[in-house]
Structure 1
Amino acid sequence: MAPLPSPIHRFLLTWTAFLLLASQAEARDIPCPDPFTDPKNDYCNPLRYIPTTALTAVSFSLILVVGIIQVLSMWRYGAKWMLAMTIGCFTFALGLALRFGLHDDPQSTGIYIVFYLFTVLSPCAFIAADYVLLGRIARAIGCGQYLAISPRRITVVFVSSDITTFLIQAAGGGLSTSGKNNPELALTGSRVFLAGLALQLLSFVIFTIIYALFLYRVYRFRPTAWTQDKGMPWYKNWLSLAGALVLSCIGILIRSVYRTIELSEGFNGPLATNEALFYGLDTLPLFIAIAIYIPFWPGRYGLDAAAAARDMSETTMTDNNQEKKTSQEAAQ
């Protein structure tokens, strides 16, 4: 019996399918007007505007630089479990780079499809990294009991949710693309895509609430843990990393709300056809969500070492208690 494909294989197969569909999306049944005469009313231009080259260059460069710095930070400080975010930086940058192509050929359905899918689906990787980070923080400071879900399970539960919503969005994108000549299929695809975005937003809202409650409970019930790094440099104090995660969550929430409302209006709605809103409510919040980890790279805080030390201490304590109990029983 052949083994099941791994998540990475499924991811690559999904993107391959999108690229194949995009390559087939260029055929048009009706002639298109001059793309630069009146782009706002050009029914062949999915964006309804000509992307600004300067904004594309700035956004692409910034996201790419963040990805490169994260690679260097990972190499120097560790935290390979942040790799999902780093990969997402490069795929997101690639999606933004495709806006150069849309500037030259704004009526290219193929370029638009790949651009849209890369920019919409890449943030799933940012979300997954934040899910993992919370569990690592809770274990490192020994406060996992203040999470609504155990540190190990919270990663599994929410990353599984992220993968599921990613696949739903991918399926919706595939249906929308393949339904070019089938309006009903395209509509079904957009609804599936919207459902995936809405479920992802709901999941992240729940995660953010759990995180907020965790911080409150640690502050309220474990003041020693809250102040354990007092007097340490900011890059060694877990509270600074916790604050970075807060900002990352806010950025992702802003973007998720924007994307959900945008798709609910349709691919040609007022939000989807406004370049300023795309940068202000999507690219900028996501940039903040990932760039915040340049100074506050999780690997600098020794989370893995702290968690391992606590696990060893708890194991030793458990063994000592067991030996003491055995000795008492033998004495009786």
Structure 2
Amino acid sequence: MLFGLKTLSLLALLLGVVEAARPGLPPPGDPFADPYNDPYNPLRYIPSNVLTGVSFGLYFLTATALVLCMRKWGAKWMLCLIIGSYTFSLGLALRFGLAKDPHSKGVYIAEYLFVVLSPCAFLAADYIILGRLAAHLNAGHYLFIRPDRVMKIFLASDLFTFAVQACGGGMSTSNDMDKLRIGQKIFLAGLALQLASFALFSALYIVFLIRIYKFAPEIWHHQTPVPWHRNWKTLAAALALSCVGILIRSVFRTIELSEGFRGHLATTESLFYGLDTYPLFVAVAIYVPFWPGRFITQPGDGEVTRRGSPAEEKA
């Protein structure tokens, strides 16, 4: 349901923006002559096949490496990260089609949907890791939210922000330019709320680590002598880096839409890679060497091992 709302809202917004730019225009000319001023080119540039190829290769290989990690160390609850990585790589691959036919509305919409929607899986993976890490350490009382509710609450928050975006996207299909602009503003508000939601999650995580450091030295230090691949703080650092990458991308997307689809951020390919594709790549690739299944041990296929202070029993 959540994925469907996001898809419909983005599809409506893209169709509205693309169609609103075309009425009364002459037939399209050479798409490679002046792409920046070409109203039929939604990107306003010709995608670089070199950058597309390198980026596609990085994501596809990383997704495959994550599959191998899951097969070796378990943690099937990270499957969403793997699926999202593959679909993001598919979105990048579609840019080859845009390089060949910059005027293709269908390819553009498919590319945009995959690139914008796939990171939802990256957010979900981080939500899952925090909840399971807190339970694994028996330190759920240091979170302001119960570990088993972290994912539910933040996914519900994302669902609300997606509903706001769906409302804005629906208005963006109108032929009335005033309604179109209002729809874009509502959609932008939804993006800003989504950014605020993940920023709140990141703050929750930081406070969780600080509280463990201050009030539970037995948890903070008890694994220090063991190898890095068994020390929970290694995974904690990986999750922090993943959050940073996602936050960079979220800020970029929010500012990009505030400028409009013809703004500097939306029409500059280097910024798309530097502030979107590669920060997200770091957020995903960090889990190849630091696969959560290596740190959060499982006796079977699902339940995490719980250990630590009995303080949680009193909480």
TM-score in same-fold range (> 0.5): yes
Q: What is the percent sequence identity of the aligned residues? A: 55
Question: Following superposition of structure 1 onto structure 2, how do residues 1-332 of structure 1 map, counting pairs within 5 Å?
Answer: 7=1, 11=3, 15=7, 29=23, 30=25, 31-169=27-165, 172-173=168-169, 176=172, 178-179=173-174, 181-305=175-299, 307-310=304-307
The 1:187–1:111 alpha-carbon spacing in structure 2 relative to 1, beyond 3 Å, is farther
| Residues 20-41 of structure 1, C-alpha deviations (whole Å, 9 max, x = no match) | 9989979965312311111111
Deviation at 1:150, TM superposition (A): 1.4
Deviation at 1:16, TM superposition (A): 8.3
Deviation at 1:147, TM superposition (A): 0.8
The answer as to whether partners of 1:26 and 1:108 remain within 8 angstroms in 2 is no
What TM-score, normalized by structure 2, do the two folds share?
Answer: 0.87
The 1:122–1:40 alpha-carbon spacing in structure 2 relative to 1, beyond 3 Å, is same
Give the distance between the partners of 1:68 and 1:173, measured in 2 at CA.
34
What TM-score, normalized by structure 1, do the two folds share?
Answer: 0.83
Count of residue correspondences: 305
Deviation at 1:166, TM superposition (A): 3.7
User: 1:165 corresponds to which letter in structure 2?
Assistant: T
Moved more, 251-260 or 17-26: 17-26
Deviation at 1:13, TM superposition (A): 8.4
Deviation at 1:169, TM superposition (A): 3.7
Q: How large is the RMSD of aligned CA atoms in angstroms?
A: 2.8
| Residues 101-134 of structure 1, C-alpha deviations (whole Å, 9 max, x = no match) | 1101112222212211221121111011101110
| Residues 187-216 of structure 1, C-alpha deviations (whole Å, 9 max, x = no match) | 344223312211110001111111111111
Give the distance between the partners of 1:147 and 1:14, measured in 2 at CA.
29
The answer as to whether partners of 1:142 and 1:307 remain within 8 angstroms in 2 is no
Moved more, 299-308 or 124-133: 299-308
The 1:21–1:219 alpha-carbon spacing in structure 2 relative to 1, beyond 3 Å, is closer
Give the distance between the partners of 2:94 and 2:19, measured in 1 at CA.
16
User: 2:253 corresponds to which letter in structure 1?
Assistant: R
- Give the number of the structure with larger relative contact order, counting CA–CA contacts within 8 Å between residues 6 or more apart: 2
Which segments of 5 or more consecutive residues in structure 2 lack a partner in the other structure?
none
Give the distance between the partners of 2:169 and 2:281, measured in 1 at CA.
24
Secondary structure at the counterpart of residue 91 of structure 1:
helix
The answer as to whether partners of 1:22 and 1:109 remain within 8 angstroms in 2 is no
The answer as to whether partners of 2:6 and 2:165 remain within 8 angstroms in 1 is no
Give the distance between the partners of 1:26 and 1:206, measured in 2 at CA.
36
